[in-house]
Structure 1
């Protein structure tokens, strides 16, 4: 049997899994494709959940990667509302939560991540939310209205995006962060300070360097957050945004190597040649940095979907891409290219006061990463510099009067 005729089973119908199914057909795969999805709706874009969905500007239909009928038209057996609970690699079979066992020739694990839940008293109260799915976003939206107060535990990008959405809807927002600054794990201090000040100017409150002790409530619904120092922050709802963990248990139980996610190569293949893994569930190579990492981003998921689909149908492997991501808050578009591994210098280009600037992370005279706020040329050219590893003149890079084209010439 040719691999083009192989039965491909995809576990997970998120951005990665849905894209892989579509690409397989686009690239000429003629065999059976079974797409297993935990949610009751077809694959959709997740990034707008914290923004457009909360503000009522998007729904499941508008965010769908493909309309529902696409899967039937492309002979993709889409199975919503179920998960895989066991992988038997020796039998090349997966058991579903429905009790059914499905055999495969090739398996793609695209099970993503799940939000970390705080193991504290009150975590099960009504009004305590996490954000990963459309259902989560819908539940949060119901708690965002004028006069309502949302407490956000965790000062990362998701929390800040939801804070911006809350303010747009007339709700109050207070961010509780255990570190001394927001975005401590994902951005440099200059960027953290900029976003803190931007949110403060729009009515968001911050409690930094604080520890959450428990959630308090009445009649089964949350009414506040008690901090370790005894203070209580009153609220009508809580969003817990303290990170996520890979859904890699089915791979671990089947004996596949996992680090922070399932370990794969540049084809998105595991040590088992018939099993691939893509998206946020993977610990993958970062060729531009000569290391392994889990970038937790939509662009990474799409890149790996291409890698796996190409390997399965026998197409040439796509060229490695520079990792990138973005965040939309208010009228700000933050675009991030690269990862600041081994950077020994931070260089600011532009003026944060004008909400148009970029922060470059350099290793010697090479750009490792760029964080660009409302600065598309810096993002695009920075991404190119990371890809081609071309040395730059730091003095020119820091001078906004010199165009990025001249800097990269």
Structure 2
């Protein structure tokens, strides 16, 4: 069945968004605010669009209810003239016909298309990953199952000491569950933070009773009668567990883009206006590898803030706005009594020093990553309302004065 075509809509065209996560939902909202005609938002989950950070933080801990994670009330989409299609999978993009082909064969024509297909949890290449009691965290349902596992377990194993793994670990420890974390690197978050600051998170979790097994290889997830019972490490050490949570990164969902012949390289490659190699197709969120003028390179940023701001920016570009996206990468975490914000970007090995404002041991500080005297990124830990001055330093709108910026007695602003 052929859907309404690219020529429909008050503005002479239909705008289709594939992916009903944060980036897609905020893009649909911006399209409506920008005067688009017909707006179709297609999501393969049954749930209406929701926020993902709570899934490993307050929702997982039970301090935020289910209604608190949704981006809009259930009737908001119809009231704003957005056709929300949940539980629908986009099967293909026919660029010649300007149509999205759905799994049931329906075709939805588009004038402009946004791919906000997100990402999927990376799977471990070891035995036992398909056992019951092995969990990955990406969806609302995943968070519900992990929360249930935490409630019913006395001990769990978390594989991977990245942001998701450590946030799940914190939630489990707060609930009184014993946690062993398996990480192949010498420190948690080493690739993101480097050894100077990664040690802060290692100390934090050890102080809260976490058994950190660092620089450790996983051989298999053990099980009995189809259910996970623990793990076996590379040195044949066995660790029992009632549940296993795997958090070893994500992979961008580029299948649609690849099949459509768009340029893909660890994500859908887009310019600073979120345009793919096809000017009528845009991409945003986890799946997009975006050109950042501030860093003179393409980056695929997997964090909430990128979806929050990138989705609307892509929508504005779909409506003809030529303004380049210049929002700096930003992310945050909350673990136990540590809250943190990070602004900027620094690749592993691309900085030559870290300047700390405050004391690492107090867990109240600001850290600056520098290369050749220029600030690449800054992170504030348990110190608030400083992201704007940090961003100005990252943008090189003002020079970095080591004595002044490292002195907690001198206001950053």
Pairing 1:374–2:374 present = no
Any conservation in 2 of the 1:325–1:337 contact (CA below 8 Å)? Answer: yes
Any idea what the Cα deviations from partners look like across 1:68-99, whole Å, max 9, x if unmatched?
A: 10111111111111211211111111222233
Which deviates more, 223-232 or 371-380?
A: 371-380
TM-score, normalised with respect to structure 2: 0.94
| Structure 2 residue matching 1:380: 3-state secondary structure | helix
Mean Cα displacement is larger for which, 304-313 or 259-268?
Answer: 304-313
Q: How does 1:9-408 map to 2 (within 5 A)?
A: 9-29=16-36, 31-145=37-151, 148-315=154-321, 317=323, 320-341=326-347, 342-405=350-413
Aligned to 2:63, the other structure's residue is in SS state coil
- Distance in 2 of aligned mates of 1:161 and 1:346: 25
- Residues 4 and 305 of structure 1, relative CA distance in 2, 3 Å threshold: farther
Report the number of matched residues: 404
Single out whichever of 240-249 and 93-102 deviates more from structure 2.
Answer: 93-102
Q: Displaced runs of 4+ in structure 1, greater than 4 A?
A: none
Alpha-carbon deviations, 1:51-84, whole Å to 9, x = none? 1111112244211111110111111111111211
Whole-Å Cα distance in 1 between the matches of residues 158 and 351 of structure 2? 31
Asked whether the equivalents of residues 377 and 404 of structure 1 are also in contact (C-alpha less than 8 Å), the reply is no
SS in 1 for 2:113: strand
Structure 2's unaligned 5+ residue stretches are: 1-6
Give the alignment's TM-score, normalised by structure 1.
0.95
Closer, same or farther: CA 28–145 of 1 in aligned 2, 3 Å: same
How far did 1:388 drift?
4.0
C-alpha contact (below 8 Å) 2:131/2:223 kept by paired residues: yes
**1:358 touches 1:378 (CA, 8 Å); kept in 2?**
no
* 1:210-242, Cα deviation, whole Å (9 max, x unpaired): 111111111211001111111111111111111
**Which ranges in structure 1 are unaligned for 5 or more consecutive residues?**
none
Distance 2:237 2:328 in 1: 44
